[in-house]
Structure 1
Amino acid sequence: MALRVGVIGLGDVSVVHINAISMNKDADLVAVCDIDESKRSLVKGANFYTDYNEMIEKENLDCVHICLPHHLHYPVTKDITSKNINVLLEKPLCLNIDEVNKFNELDKKTDANICICLQNRYNYTVKTLLEIIKSNKYGDIKAIKGIVAWSRSESYYSTKPWRGKMKYSGGGVMINQAIHTIDLMQLFGGEIESIKGNINNLLDYDIEVEDTATANINFKNGSRGTFISTVAYGDNSSVEIEIILEKARFVIKDNILYKYENGTKEVVAKDILFEGAKHYYGSGHAELISNYYNSLINKDNNFIHVSDAENSIRIIEYIRNSSKENKLINWGN
């Protein structure tokens, strides 16, 4: 029997979720919810609600996708799981470390599952590179670089004002545009020793959040990470992640994994891209969603948990605090 699925929030990223749900044989999208009544006819065949509490009371759902502004992630997840309904939560996990702690407590107490949508972990390039690193064929990691250079107009913030306010968004470029890059850097690099970071605003926008952030991340294995992110660029450039190992250099760019060794360049892997999808959403949504549904059906617990997603929020807050205090901050402090 197919899982009965609902979606809360019919904004930009919900389109990717709805498409993935519609293509999945293990799920039926039976209900959607948004406070905007004009979106009632957006999803054919699904019952529409403006109150998610009413939706979860009436629809007997197995899983709910939460695609809402960041400040709603924790309270809505808490409400949904209180009814023992499983959750698939769009990134980020939450606003800050205080909410990370609340999420960890919630995750321990509830019998429902909470999966966090860090879908770039499912990109073929990322999985291939992770296998290469773990094999140690090319030696230990020496350095990691992550670059996000994108463009966001002032209307990006003015049309959805929550994006520019700290109490609603939890930040700017780091938590909204670069969180997948931060997540992958710590996934590749392992445990963190310390962070020194800086945040700034290069654009003259009327917003509270940063549009630019940089950081030096020291990993316990002795490698160093350099993180650079901005939405002050003139266009959306490809995200770039570089891993330097002792015997070779690997770069993910334009959804292709390249290997540089002894003066040669080789294509190692390519991501599968879906026609019409925004390139910066990546290609992993459908696989992550399918994997989560299989985990719910098979009860195998094989998905991205709250504990997997919390480090990206911690890194963001450490960078912010390091910038504010103008000093290196040791992990765990």
Structure 2
Amino acid sequence: MLRVGLIGLGDVSPVHVHAIHASDYGELVAVCDTNMELSSNFPEIPFFANVDRMLEKMNLDVVHLCLPHDLHYPITQKCVSHDVHVYLEKPVAMTYEEALKQLEVMKQTDKKICVSFQNRYNASFIRLMEILENEDVGEVTSIKGLVTWFRPESYYTSKPWRGQKDRAGYGSIINQSIHTLDLIQLIGGDLKSCKAVLSNLTDYDIEVEDTASATFTFTSGVKAFFHATNAYTENSSVEIQVITEKEKFTIKDSRLYITNDEGRKEVIIEDDKLPGSKFYYGAGHMHLIDRFYESILNDTDDYVTIEDSIPSMQMIKLMDLSSNNTKRPERIELEEINYVTS
């Protein structure tokens, strides 16, 4: 049984706690947060306000990091230097440049680092990829990804780092919709170029964008359209649509649909749901966390690695460059950001 620690007790941490308790491979033995008042939520588990002290005292096998983005890189470094594996909440880092530093950390340690792109393990997405890869539906031609959500101003004022460029990196594209970017690139393949606009539609006093629209081109010739915003009036269902030469598939409301010859959507499969969680978390965390624990015990790479997470950070970097290059957005080629992995 792996000895597990949890650092950061923010909004997503209850999902991690639930998954750890439900796992046959790990036991939560320590938690850490600077807010000591949260210790009352863990009366039987050692509570720490200092990361170094927890790492030095608790002989941990793996740590879950649920921290502000600017802490992802330095705390990951700290954990692996203490010979501890890391399950890292997305994003892999605050910026593309930091993501490359995380990649170097991965190459220089025998510790495993898993990035929490748990939506890859939703039943709807797994089945979609099986169909695209194994069934006679023709080549993918187009992809659409939509994330129309709502965040009140209090979302940013209650935790100011979320709206700060030097702590969050970006807004909706790195916090709310990076999962959708990740799935788009898994379908589309190797990225070629991007044209994008990052903007603010709310009246909030924040430094990061709350809205983004982009087109991506992949080397395969696939075209993708992406739109994400925190300026809607509610958290509408994320939608991913894939058009192939022969069929049209849509993931929406946690279901995978195929559009039949009469234009009606037919359900193929529905995602598992995590009881009591926000609908958009789903049950993917449990699947990925268990997979990561098994990979530690069996010494495999069957999880989402740092390298796997790089393409979504490339997409964010290209969107940023395209939007800010001139007064009118300019198409940016991937080669312009000098991506090097070796």
Whichever residue aligns with residue 227 of structure 2, its letter is I
CA distance in structure 1 between the partners assigned to 2:43 and 2:289 by the alignment? 20
Q: What are the superposed Cα offsets for residues 227-266 of structure 1, whole Å, 9 maximum, x if unpaired?
A: 0000100111000000001111000000000011322432
Distance across 2 between alignment mates of 1:321 and 1:301: 33
Q: Once the two structures are superposed, what CA deviation does each residue of 1:21-53 show, in whole Å capped at 9, x if it has no partner?
A: 011121110000000010112124211000011
Quote the Cα distance in structure 2 between the aligned partners of 1:201 and 1:65. 32
Q: Aligned with 2:40: secondary structure?
A: coil
Say whether the 8 Å CA contact 1:95–1:313 is kept in structure 2.
no
Are 2:274 and 2:281, in contact at CA under 8 Å, matched by a contact in 1?
no
Aligned to 1:328: 331
TM norm structure 1: 0.98
1:197-276 mapped onto 2 (5 Å cutoff): 197-263=196-262, 264-276=264-276
- Counterpart residue type for residue 299 of structure 1: D
Deviation at 1:136, TM superposition (A): 4.7
- C-alpha displacement at 1:276, in angstroms? 0.9
In structure 2, stretches of 5+ residues that fail to align are 337-342
Name the SS of the counterpart of 1:274 in structure 2: coil
Pairwise CA distance, 1:104: 1.1
SS at match of 1:225: strand
Task: Determine the C-alpha separation between the residues in 1 that align with 2:231 and 2:285.
Answer: 27
The root-mean-square deviation of aligned C-alpha atoms, in Å, is: 0.9
Shift of 1:218: 0.7
Contact 2:144-2:242 at 8 Å conserved across structures: yes
| Matched AA of 2:2 | L
- 1:247-294 CA-to-partner distances (Å, cap 9, x unmatched) read 110000000000113224321111000221101223200000001001
Q: Give the residue type in structure 2 aligned to 1:24.
A: S
Q: Does 1:141 align with 2:140?
A: yes
* 1:85-130 Cα shifts (integer Å, max 9, x gaps): 1000000111112101211111100111000000000100010001
Give the CA deviation at 1:3: 0.4
1:130 aligns with 2:129: yes
For these two proteins, the number of residue pairs brought into alignment is 332
TM-score, normalised by the number of residues in structure 2 = 0.96
CA distance, structure 2, for counterparts of residue 150 and residue 288 of structure 1: 25
The residue number in structure 2 matching 1:68 is 67
Write out the 4+ residue segments of structure 1 that deviate beyond 3 Å after TM superposition.
Answer: none
Secondary structure of residue in 2 paired with 1:143: strand
- Partner residue, 2:287: 287
Q: 2: CA distance between counterparts of 1:117 and 1:257?
A: 22
Percent identity among equivalent residues? 45
